[in-house]
Amino acid sequence: MRYLLLVLAILVSQSIYASDSVKVKKLKRGKDVDTVKVATPPPPPPAPLFTDIIPQPLSLVKGEGRFTLDDSSAIICEKGFEKAANYLRLYLPIERTKGKKSNSIQLQLDKKLGKEEYSLSVGEKGIIIRGGDYGGVFNAIQSLLQLLPHAIYSKSATLPMELSYIEVKDAPQYHYRGFLLDVARTFQPVHEVKLVLDYMAFCKLNKLHFHLVDNPAWRIEIKKYPHFAEQGGFRGGDAKLHPIYDRFRQKYGGYYTQEELRDIVAYAAERNIEVIPEIDMPGHSKALGAVHPEILCNYKPDLSAYNGIDIRNVWCAAKESNYALVEDIVKELVDIFPSEYLHIGGDEVSFKQWMLCPDCQRLMKEKGLKDGHQLEQHFLNRVSDILAKYNRKAVVWDEAVDGGLLPTTTMVTGWRGVKQCLNSTAKGYPTIIMPSSVFYLDKRQSPHERGHRSTRGLSLKTICDFSFENAGFTAEQRKNIAGIEGAFWGEIYLENITSKRHFSDYLEYMLFPRLFAVSEIAWGQKRRSFDEMNAVLRSSFYHKLHRMSATFRLESPTIKVEKGKIYASVDDGSKIFFTDIRNNRTLEYKSPLSAHSVPFVTFHSELMTGYSNSVGAPDFYKSRTPKVSITSSMPFSKRRPAELCATYQKAAYTTRCAKKGDWIEFRFAEPQKFSYLKVRSGYEHLHRCVMYDSSLEVSYDGVSFTRIATTRNGEFVVRPNNKTKNKAIHALRIVANRISDAEDKVIIQPLVIK
């Protein structure tokens, strides 16, 4: 009887499926088998459709229904939108046609819409895109691609594809939505620059601030002066410029030919991006001064701290020949870059060089200029006048307006901080808002991470939380906001390129997902909170980046130490790994580790093409601090003496760079055994001001020294082996094997001992 009831119960429970097809299911009961008819389960639900767009649009209304793109679909575009249609076809395998098709994608001009404004409609008859101009249509295409399945970004997706019926209306708040790419410090080949342009287009950013010239290099071919790039584009080896940034003996670098730059400009234009070149002057010109010393001031500098290397980096403001040279350069630039703007720098000028120049002093007296700020503005006004002859306008960094002599028609890039942006907008200057504390994407994202130093790290949340109201901008000041710009400076890029990952891995890790938050501030009035942004990233945009093969940064695992165990956890579905610094081995984390490993293990997670920063428990970041004294063949700075380093407080500075045979010695009050020891010269986050091409020597008796390692980047990590693990070290020292880099000091970091 109970078996009959069981069969009846199954029949009743399955009757909810309304299906004509059936299958036979056998119920085994001892040696007997009963057969019953059971309704076929319903088909799986349709694949999810995506309705999230970054940056968040002004209006998005979902409809009832789905539109299918298939092999019979086509693109129909009005005149002037052919390049936008060709761009769309890079992702969608459909043809262009001149006829009308009900299941087409139509690209249309709508003169009622403003600049870069668009509407996007997906309905029964197809997809209709209307834009106020080319930029509007292109912005709508970006939104359309984001609504399609993630596989579209692999550029090898197949049809059919489904979209939800949807109506999107959108327009940018700011028509300057920029990104600064610094190629002066780390040269990026053309295909890398184009990759950045693709990422900008993905985020609806429309101005590439192309930082081509700075102290480390001159990256642009000037045909009248070919040696500028041929010599000024390379460092190290037999190059005329001395090496910095982790490349020392080898010659490295590069420059862009004018043909390559025109190709970049055209590629950008197809993606609704204007390229604004920067020739940084009158400061930041060490590379040009090295290959063309005629620009420098008329005095003999003291080179003793630099091993005889002239590192002056400021154009002489009094030489008329310099203004003629500027015009020669501008003539060639305007033929390459159609932008109405040219960035001429004006930041971090060493006025001391002008104060030592008799010609500049005479000019200041003749013109009644009170200080270096006003002399700089005299120089920049002369350059601006040259630009005006060629129908171009100047953009300058915010320091350039400090003297009060630049006309308010000059556009200002506010980088030093919110205070300077407030000052610039209050004075009436059109200002690009990019305070480094919020928009410099080369800054580290958490305290213990790669990237330029910042107090707590420039996190995604910091950018999401930025608002003009909270920053103190009045309604009147906001009228002078030209737009927003994110920045990636290239100092640390070079030393983060590894053979294990692709060239642009570090750049992408720093950009994504923070660039999405920058784009939302730059684009519109509607913005996501940090939690909302995180949700969209995890549900959708990490998948899109993965399909692009782009690296992105995940939030680091949470680490807890409880009851003698180390626990690591994540909330994004990523896989966790741990690394033991004692042997440099990495394994997958599958269960809690012993708390005895706290000083030696870090954890990171990986998901698709994303990965997190490596983090440890709080005690991982603590170092043993045995008493040590530090001496050197080089004098120490009074401001940063050896004692600061010996007491594990801060780095110590010498007063000159190293020569061959120079040394720095660490001597312990009591002999030390350890599992891990790191000795480093240079900045904590950057291989600069280092004793490069140096050796590490140790003394086990306090008298004789044995060489155990050599390095070219100033950093040594010592892990005792079976022969040395029981031997105590009395002292260790770094010895320079050759002249150091062209800096005025060597920086010595406190020892890290575990």
Please give the radius of gyration of the chain, using alpha carbons only, rounded to the nearest integer. Answer: 31
pLDDT in tens, 135-180: 999 999 999 999 999 999 999 999 999 999 999 999 999 999 999 9
| Every domain of the chain and the residues it spans | 2-39, 59-170, 176-552, 555-621, 628-753
8 Å CB contact between 614 and 606:
no
Judged by average pLDDT, the poorest of 247-256, 289-298, 608-617 is: 247-256
- Sort 627 into a burial class: Cβ within 10 Å, 0-12 / 13-18 / 19+: exposed
Four-CA torsion 248, 680, 443, 218, nearest 10 degrees = -20
**What pLDDT, on a 0 to 100 scale, did the predictor assign at position 2?**
42
Are 209 and 181 in contact by the 8 Å Cβ rule? The answer is yes
Count other Cβ atoms within 10 Å, centred on residue 628.
21
751 close to 698: Cβ distance less than 8 angstroms: no
Question: How far is it, in rounded angstroms, from Cα 435 to Cα 454?
Answer: 13
Architecture of domain 59-170: 2-Layer Sandwich (3.30)
Same fold, 176-552 and 555-621: no
pLDDT at 289: 97
Q: Say whether pLDDT at 608 is over 70.
A: yes
**pLDDT band at residue 247 under the 50/70/90 scheme:** low
Q: Which two tokens stand for residue 150?
A: 């993630």
The residue among 421 and 47 whose pLDDT is bigger is 421
CB atoms within 10 A of CB 531: 9
pLDDT at 485: 98
555-621 maps to which CATH number?
2.60.40.10
**Does the pLDDT of residue 380 top 80, yes or no?**
yes
Segment 633-650 shows an average pLDDT of 97
20 has a pLDDT exceeding 70: no
pLDDT at 18: 32
Length of the chain: 754
Query: Which is more confidently placed, 210 or 245?
Result: 210
Look up residue 26 and give its two tokens: 């056998």
Residue 638, pLDDT above cutoff 60 = yes
Dihedral of alpha carbons 259, 261, 262, 264, sign? positive
Q: Any residues with CB less than 8 A from the CB of 303 and at least 6 apart, and which?
A: 309, 310
Task: Quote the CA–CA distance of 45 and 48 in Å, as a whole number.
Answer: 8
The yes-or-no verdict on residue 274 having pLDDT over 80 is yes
Q: Is 70 exceeded by the pLDDT of residue 23?
A: no
pLDDT at residue 368 tops 70: yes
DSSP state of 256: B
- Residue 495 predicted with pLDDT over 90: no
What is the DSSP-derived secondary structure letter of residue 46? P
- pTM, two decimal places: 0.92
Predicted pLDDT of residue 8: 39
DSSP assignment string, 438-483: HHBTTB-SSSSSSSB--SS---HHHHHT--HHHHT--HHHHTTEEE
| Mean pLDDT estimate for the chain | 91
Residue 271, burial from CB neighbour count under 10 angstroms (0-12, 13-18, 19+): buried
The CATH number corresponding to 628-753 among 2.60.40.1180, 3.40.50.300, 3.40.50.1370, 2.60.120.260 equals 2.60.120.260
Token match 């055994």: residue? 673
Give the model's confidence band at 46: pLDDT under 50 very low, under 70 low, under 90 confident, else very high: low
Distances 619 to 92, 207, 407, 599, 600 between C-alpha atoms, Å: 52, 44, 55, 6, 9
Identify the residue with better confidence: 485 or 28: 485
Q: Are 434 and 484 in contact (CB under 8 A)?
A: yes
Q: CB–CB of 654/632 below 8 Å?
A: yes
Three-class secondary structure assignment of 10-25: HHHHHCCCCCCCEEEE
What angle do the packed helices 372-389 and 320-336 form, to 10 degrees? 50
Helices 372-389 and 358-367, packing angle to 10 deg: 80
Whether a cis peptide bond, with omega within 30° of 0, leads into 282 is yes
Backbone angles phi, psi at 518, to 5 degrees: -60, -45
Weakest mean pLDDT among 83-92, 172-181, 229-238, 543-552: 229-238
Q: Per residue in 98-140, pLDDT tens?
A: 777 788 999 999 999 999 999 999 999 899 999 999 999 999 9
Coil, strand or helix at 353: helix
Write a three-state SS string for 564-607.
Answer: CEEEEECCCCCEEEEEECCCCEEEECCCCEEHHHHHHEEEEEEE
Calculate mean pLDDT across residues 436-456: 91
Q: Are 553 and 573 in contact (CB under 8 A)?
A: no
CATH of domain 176-552: 3.20.20.80
Q: Which of 98-107, 152-161, 344-353, 360-369 has the lowest mean pLDDT?
A: 98-107
Residues 6+ apart with CB under 8 A from 474: none
Q: Are 154 and 168 in contact (CB under 8 A)?
A: no
What pLDDT, on a 0 to 100 scale, did the predictor assign at position 149?
Answer: 95
pLDDT at 40: 52
Phi, psi (deg, nearest 5) at residue 197: -60, -40
- β-strands 628-632, 663-672 pairing: antiparallel
Q: Looking at the predicted structure, is the pLDDT value of residue 12 above 60? A: no
Query: Cα separations (Å) of 303 from 306, 322, 603, 693, 743?
Result: 5, 24, 46, 22, 11
pLDDT value for 237:
83
Nearest-angstrom CA–CA distance, 657 and 536? 50
Q: What is the DSSP string of 373-426?
A: HHHHHHHHHHHHHHHHHTT-EEEEEGGGGTTS-S-TTSEEEE-S-HHHHHHHHH
Q: Whose CA is closest to 630, among 643, 614, 612?
A: 643
Find the range with the poorest average confidence among 74-78, 400-404, 407-411, 568-572: 400-404
* pLDDT of res. 494: 83
Residue in the structure block whose two tokens are 């045995």: 626
Q: What is the pLDDT of residues 687-730, one digit of tens each?
A: 889 988 899 999 999 999 999 999 888 899 999 988 888 899 99
- In contact, 603 and 616? CB cutoff 8 Å: yes
**pLDDT score of 742:** 72
Q: Please, are residues 595 and 559 in contact by the beta-carbon 8 Å criterion?
A: no
